[in-house]
């Protein structure tokens, strides 16, 4: 009954153009049955993905890989809705008993874990993000550690061994598979989460605390090679040694790391790795990110970066082209109301490029670029900013709500000039 | 032309809220005016020198804050620097560390450096989080400081003692304690709760601190920072005036008032000596 009510409301919400409907549907499910998460998760294999960055991409890769590996459809989040309501809506949307691959907000993980009882928990990374809400990264790490401690005996945690905060949290779990997924942004991990002593980082992702025994655990999965040669290598605990050539359509080292993490989860579940890799290669777009959209002669590649760690990954993607870069910054609730984090991003690296600052907080960004010595144009309107950047190819790097606003007003790839979402609400 | 050395103190411990940007702003404003300027970062493993002209101490999380306080108390590098006439900008946790005492993560009171006359306790209500506007005190306004804007995000409440003056009065936000005063200044040590970073948001504050180091300053093209300053003055207060922020402020004001009444009551009720 709860599920029927929720799905009906979701359809109504979508029909009314209010959004994907996943959140309102989830509210309905939980209103009728407050224990709906536990009831909906019962009897299925649940795989969860959490972390500050890469949740949505990794969840999509894992959902595709799990489908390919098991030959069954899985249920997964709609539009990245990753709080309790979004999880309820996702579980209610598919057949009972189908495996579930769900991304969970890092601050909510501890709340939903006892109800969802995952077989696999993927922990990607932790860094500063939305500081006005999650005041301290360390508190999130502590909550993860508490949650890992309470995991059931059969559960497997797949954790990024290169991130000291993640490793410390995961070490409390009954069983862990360690992935060398890299850590581009280290500034939130220089103080040991266990003893507050200094953490020193060595070559190739190695790290150890100088004050206690905490150190990077031995790896079960790691990356070798670059670009087309990039391979994920499985160690003996994952049936290796075995090399998997990735050949992803998605750009950047961070996505190779996400894919290696997914592969570790697949192998730890006892599934074959080959079909999973083939399925991951087909993913070329994630909730509008990495896709190209055209406006006023500008062919924009849309990228998400919502914190310094995300930017460390994005520089890796936009570095090669040398083309124009449009940066769109908002500071709404989902972005965090304090855009001070812009000062932790080395925007100096954009010097010499054609740069356009846009979004609701374009003036904060403009001052940051000013002091970074980066000449730039300021154009508050998103579409106008694209026009200023063009013509030709441009990278558009937006934070969370700015990206959603862009997706709402830009014609989606493969859909001609038809807009989506808010942009066309009046026309429907 | 002067050569100026700027020290960024423990950015690995006190660098959570982008406050390291204050050093970037100071350095650029000096370089654009033809001064030589060197910015050096000193991490938790480094010895902080006492010979620099300007020190920037940022905000951070509870545990690293206590560690930073312990290290600075042991080395006394900042004490010597201040004795030598150095200028110090301390933000949020930095302000608390430079005060006489603050409440550590274990709930116990830790000793601060005593470079600012203020004490910090755990606040009675929820954290003070949001856009903040501060009208500078007349002394600072006379030195060219304009209305300050920034983003506060702290759980502690700070009370000033004699010899230390506030930056000014809060017109939007909570500030040190209860929506009245913000910041703590003694000599050339400037403490504030404002992130943003504060010097990116408020170019006149950056220049006020720089005049203490190099004297009179040539004008700069500040059209970009001034555009942000105007926009934040216009929009900051209304962003803050959401329901949650108003409740936060009401709880804080009520808590502080009750505490004052209780203290006054306790003083009146003290038994007479027999």
Q: What is the DSSP letter of A289?
A: B
Residues A211 and A331 in one domain: no
One domain, residues A393 and A250: no
Q: What is the pLDDT of residue B261?
A: 60
Mean pLDDT, chain B, whole residue set? 90
Evaluate whether residue A289 is within a structural domain: no
Share of chain A above pLDDT 70, in %: 89
Size of interface A-B (CB pairs under 8 A): 98
Q: Are A148 and A157 in contact (CB under 8 A)?
A: yes
Percent of chain B at pLDDT > 90 equals: 76
* Residues of A in Cβ contact (< 8 Å) with B153: 131-132, 135, 338
In a domain, B274, yes or no: no
**B151 belongs to a structural domain:** yes
- Among the candidates A254, A281, A308, a domain finishes at A281
Output b/e per residue, B106-123; b: 16+ Cβ within 10 A.
eeeebebbebbbbbbbeb
User: In this complex, do B21 and A368 lie within 8 Å of one another by their Cβ atoms?
Assistant: yes
Residue in chain B nearest A333 by alpha carbon: B239
User: To 5 degrees, how large is the angle CA A42–CA A47–CA A52?
Assistant: 130
Q: Which residue has the tokens 């942000």?
A: B228
Angle ∠(B130,A396,A282) on CA atoms, nearest 5:
115
What is the per-residue DSSP string for A61-83?
A: HHHHHHHHHHSS--EE-STT--S
Q: Has residue B197 been placed in a domain?
A: yes
Query: Of B35, B154, B195, B229, which is the active-site residue?
Result: B195
Examine the predicted complex and report whether its ipTM is higher than 0.85: yes
Question: SS3 sequence, chain B?
Answer: CCEEEEEEECCCCCCCCCCCHHHHHHHHHHHCCCCEEEEEEECCCCCCCCCCCEEEECCCCHHHHHHHHHHHHHHCHHHHHHHCCCEEEEECHHHHHHCCEEECCCCCEEECCCCCCEEEEECCCCCEEEEEEEEECHHHHHCCCCCEEEEEEECEEEEECCCCECCEEEEECCCCCCCCEECEEECCEEEECCECCHHHHCHHHHHHHHHHHHCCCCCCCCHHHHHHHHHHHHHHHHHHCCHHHHHHHHHHHHHHHHHHHHHHHHHHHCCCCC
Residue recorded with tokens 């005016």: B33
Q: What is the pLDDT of residue A135?
A: 60
- Kindly write down the DSSP assignment for every residue of A146-205, as one continuous string: HHHHTS-TT-EEEEETT-HHHHHHHTTSSSEEEE----S--TTSSB-TTT-PBEEE-GGG
| List B92, B118, B148, B154, catalytic entry | B92
Residue A359 lies in a domain: yes
Check whether A379 has a pLDDT greater than 50. yes
Distance, C-alpha A323 to centroid of its chain: 25
Same-domain check for residues A268 and A366: no
From B20, B28, B45, residue closest to A343, measured CB to CB: B20
Which residues 112-131 in chain A show a CB within 8 A of chain B?
A: 128, 131
Q: Report the chain A residue with the minimal C-alpha distance to residue B202.
A: A367
In a domain, B43, yes or no: yes
**CA atoms of A49 and A37, how far apart (whole Å):** 16
Evaluate the CA torsion angle A9, A11, A12, A14 in order and state its sign. Answer: positive
Is residue A374 in a domain? yes
Instruction: Identify the residue whose tokens are 């450096």.
Output: B113
| Residue B257 pLDDT level (bands cut at 50, 70, 90) | low
d(CA B266, CA A308): 50
For B199-252, how does the pLDDT look when each residue is reduced to its tens digit (9 = 90+)? 999 999 999 999 999 999 999 999 999 999 999 999 999 988 764 555 555 666
Cα gap B196→A253, rounded to integer Å: 31
Whether residues A133 and A21 share a domain: the answer is: no
Residue A135 main-chain phi, psi, to 5 deg = -55, -35
Query: Please, are residues B131 and B172 in contact by the beta-carbon 8 Å criterion?
Result: yes
Q: Report helix angle A362-371 to B223-240, nearest 10.
A: 140
What residues are paired with B5 via a beta bridge?
A: B38
Question: Does B154 participate in catalysis according to the annotation?
Answer: no
Question: CB contact, 8 Å: A348 with chain B?
Answer: no
Q: A225-234, A314-323, B4-13, B144-153: which has the minimum mean pLDDT?
A: A314-323
Write out the residue range of the structural domain in which residue B170 sits.
3-269
- Say yes or no to pLDDT of A313 above 80: yes
A315 and A265, same structural domain?
Answer: no
DSSP letters spanning A397-422: EE-HHHHHHHHHHSPPTTSTT---GG
Mean pLDDT, range A281-292, rounded to an integer: 92
**One-character DSSP codes across A204-248:** GG-EEESSSS-BPPPPSEEEES-GGG-EEEE-GGGT-SEEEE---
Q: Which residues of B touch A311 (CB under 8 A)?
A: none
Asked if A340 has any chain B CB less than 8 Å from its own CB, the reply is yes
From the list B64, B57, B60, the residue with the least C-alpha distance to B17 is B60
Contacts of A237 (CB under 8 A, 6+ apart): A177, A220
Q: Which of B20, B153, B228 sits opposite A367 (nearest CB)?
A: B228
Q: How far apart are CA B85 and CA A77, in angstroms?
A: 58
CA distance B60 to B13: 6
Kindly state whether residues A172 and A98 are assigned to the same domain.
yes
Identify whether A287 is part of a domain: no
| Residue B163, CA distances (Å) to A374, B97, B274 in order | 42, 17, 37
* B97-129 tens-digit pLDDT: 999 999 976 788 999 999 999 999 998 888 899
In angstroms, the CA A100 to CA A118 distance is 9
Based on the fold, state whether residues A405 and A385 are members of the same structural domain: yes
Cβ distance of B15 and A191 shorter than 8 Å = no
Count of domains observed in chain A:
3
Q: Lowest mean pLDDT of A72-86, A297-311, A369-383, name the range.
A: A72-86
Inter-chain residue contact B151 with A191, CB threshold 8 Å: no
B92 is an active site residue: yes
Residue A285 Cα distances to A56, A61, A250, angstroms: 11, 10, 7
Q: Are residues A197 and A139 in the same domain?
A: yes
Rg of chain B over Cα atoms, rounded to whole angstroms, equals: 19
* H or E element, residue A122: strand A120-123
Q: Which of A192, A190, A271, A264 is nearest to A223 (CA)?
A: A264
A344 interface with B at CB cutoff 8 Å? yes
Residue to mutate among B39, B152, B228, with most A CBs inside 10 A, is B228
Specify the pLDDT at position B253.
Answer: 61
Q: Is there a domain that residue A70 lies in?
A: yes
Instruction: State percent of chain A over pLDDT 90.
Output: 65
Residue A288 covered by a domain: no
Indicate whether A87 and A234 sit together in one domain.
yes
- Of A27-31, B171-175, B240-244, least confident by mean pLDDT is B240-244
Q: How far is A24 from chain B (nearest CA, A)?
A: 23
For residue A113, is it within any domain? Answer: yes
Task: Pick the range with the lowest mean pLDDT from A13-22, A66-75, B12-21, B88-97.
Answer: A13-22
A408, A419 Cβ separation under 8 angstroms: yes
Residue closest to B25 by CA, chosen among B150, B178, B197, B189? B197
- Is A269 found in the same domain as A192? yes
Please check whether residue B92 lies inside any domain of the structure. yes
In this structure, the strands spanning A325-328 and A355-358 are parallel
Q: Is the pLDDT of residue A252 over 60?
A: yes
Contacts of B227 in chain A (CB under 8 A): 363, 366
A142: distance to nearest CA of chain B, Å? 13
List residues of chain B with CB under 8 Å from any CB of chain A: 11-13, 15-21, 24-25, 28, 43-45, 61-64, 66-67, 127, 129-131, 151, 153, 155, 195-197, 200-201, 224-225, 227-228, 231, 239
pLDDT in the model for residue A64: 97
Q: What is the mean pLDDT of residues A65-86?
A: 88
* Angstrom distance (rounded) from CA B197 to CA B190: 14
**Residue reference for tokens 């004008």:** B219
Residues A313 and A219 in one domain: no
Cα-based distances in Å from A24 to A9, A32, A59, A376: 7, 13, 22, 41
Give CA torsion, residues A403, A408, A413, A417, to 10 deg: -140
Instruction: Write down which residue in A216, A247, A281 finishes a domain.
Output: A281
Q: Rounded to an integer, what distance in angstroms lies between the CA atom of residue A156 and that of residue A190?
A: 27
> pLDDT grade, residue B142 (50/70/90)?
very high
DSSP assigned state of A328? E
A206: pLDDT strictly greater than 50: yes
Looking at the 3D structure of chain B, how many domains does it have? 1
List the domain range (segments joined by +) for residue A267. Answer: 35-281
pLDDT band at A40 (very low <50, low <70, confident <90, very high): confident
Same domain, A16 and A118: no
CATH classification of the domain holding A411 = 3.90.190.20
Specify the pLDDT at position B247: 56
CATH code, domain with B210:
3.40.50.880
For the cut 70, the answer to whether the pLDDT of residue B270 exceeds it is no
Dihedral (CA of A329, A331, A335, A337) sign:
positive
For residue A380, what pLDDT is reported? 97
């Amino acid at each position: 009954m709860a599920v029927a009510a929720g799905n009906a409301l979701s359809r109504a919400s979508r029909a009314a153009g209010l959004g994907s409907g996943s959140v309102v549907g989830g509210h309905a499910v939980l209103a009728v049955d407050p224990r709906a998460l536990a009831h909906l998760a019962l009897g299925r294999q649940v795989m969860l993905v959490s972390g500050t960055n890469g949740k949505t991409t990794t969840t999509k890769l894992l959902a595709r890989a799990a489908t390919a590996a098991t030959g069954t459809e899985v249920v997964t989040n709609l539009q990245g809705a990753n709080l309790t309501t979004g999880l309820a809506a996702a579980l209610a949307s598919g057949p009972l008993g189908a495996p579930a691959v769900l991304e969970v907000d890092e601050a909510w993980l501890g709340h939903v874990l006892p109800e969802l009882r995952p077989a696999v928990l993927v922990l990607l990374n932790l860094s500063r993000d939305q500081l006005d809400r999650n005041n301290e990264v360390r508190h999130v790490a502590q909550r993860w550690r508490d949650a890992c401690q309470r995991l059931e005996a059969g559960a497997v945690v797949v954790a990024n061994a290169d991130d000291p905060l993640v490793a410390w949290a995961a070490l409390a779990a009954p069983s862990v598979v360690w992935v060398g997924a890299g850590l581009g942004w280290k500034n939130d991990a220089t103080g040991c989460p266990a003893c507050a002593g200094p953490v020193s980082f060595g070559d190739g992702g190695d790290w150890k605390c100088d004050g206690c025994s905490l150190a990077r655990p031995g790896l079960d999965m790691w990356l070798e090679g670059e670009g087309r040669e990039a391979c994920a290598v499985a160690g003996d605990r994952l049936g290796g040694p075995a090399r998997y050539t990735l050949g992803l359509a998605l750009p950047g080292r961070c996505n190779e790391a996400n894919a290696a993490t997914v592969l570790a989860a697949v192998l730890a579940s006892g599934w074959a790795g080959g079909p999973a890799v083939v399925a991951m290669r087909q993913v070329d777009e994630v909730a509008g990110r990495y896709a190209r959209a055209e406006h006023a002669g500008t062919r924009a590649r849309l990228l998400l970066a919502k914190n310094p760690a995300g930017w460390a990954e994005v520089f890796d993607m936009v570095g090669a082209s040398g083309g124009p870069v449009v940066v769109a910054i908002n500071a709404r609730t989902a972005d965090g109301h304090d855009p001070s984090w812009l000062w932790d991003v080395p925007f100096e690296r954009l010097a010499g490029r054609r740069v356009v600052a846009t979004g609701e907080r374009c003036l904060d960004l403009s001052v940051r670029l000013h002091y970074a010595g980066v000449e730039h144009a300021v154009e508050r309107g998103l579409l106008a900013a694209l026009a200023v950047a063009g013509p030709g190819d441009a990278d558009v790097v937006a934070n969370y709500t700015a990206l959603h606003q862009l997706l709402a007003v830009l014609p989606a790839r493969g859909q001609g000039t038809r807009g989506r979402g808010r942009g066309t609400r009046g026309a429907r | 032309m002067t050569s100026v050395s700027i020290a960024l103190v423990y950015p690995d411990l006190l660098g959570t809220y982008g406050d390291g940007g204050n050093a970037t702003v100071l350095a650029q404003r000096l370089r654009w005016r033809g001064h030589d300027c060197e910015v050096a970062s000193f991490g938790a493993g480094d010895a902080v020198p006492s010979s620099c002209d300007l020190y920037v101490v940022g905000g951070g999380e509870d545990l690293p804050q206590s560690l930073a306080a312990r290290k600075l108390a042991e080395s006394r590098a900042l004490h010597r620097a201040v004795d030598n006439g150095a200028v110090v900008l301390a933000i949020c946790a930095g302000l608390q560390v430079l005060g006489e005492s603050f409440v550590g993560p274990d709930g116990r009171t830790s000793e601060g450096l005593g470079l600012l006359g203020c004490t910090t306790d755990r606040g009675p209500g929820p954290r003070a989080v949001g856009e903040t506007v501060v009208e500078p005190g007349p002394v600072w306004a006379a030195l060219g400081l304009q209305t300050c804007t920034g983003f506060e995000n702290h759980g502690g409440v700070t009370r000033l003692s004699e010899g230390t003056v506030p930056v000014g009065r809060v017109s939007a936000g909570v500030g040190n304690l209860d929506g009245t005063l913000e910041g703590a200044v003694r000599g050339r040590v400037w403490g504030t709760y404002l992130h943003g970073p504060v010097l990116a948001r408020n170019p006149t504050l950056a220049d006020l601190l720089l005049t203490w180091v190099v004297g009179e300053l040539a004008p700069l093209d500040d059209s970009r920072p001034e555009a942000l300053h105007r926009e934040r003055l216009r929009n900051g207060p209304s962003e803050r005036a959401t329901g949650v922020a108003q409740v936060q402020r009401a709880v804080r004001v009520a808590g502080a008032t009750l505490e004052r009444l209780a203290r006054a009551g306790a003083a009146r009720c003290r038994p007479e000596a027999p």
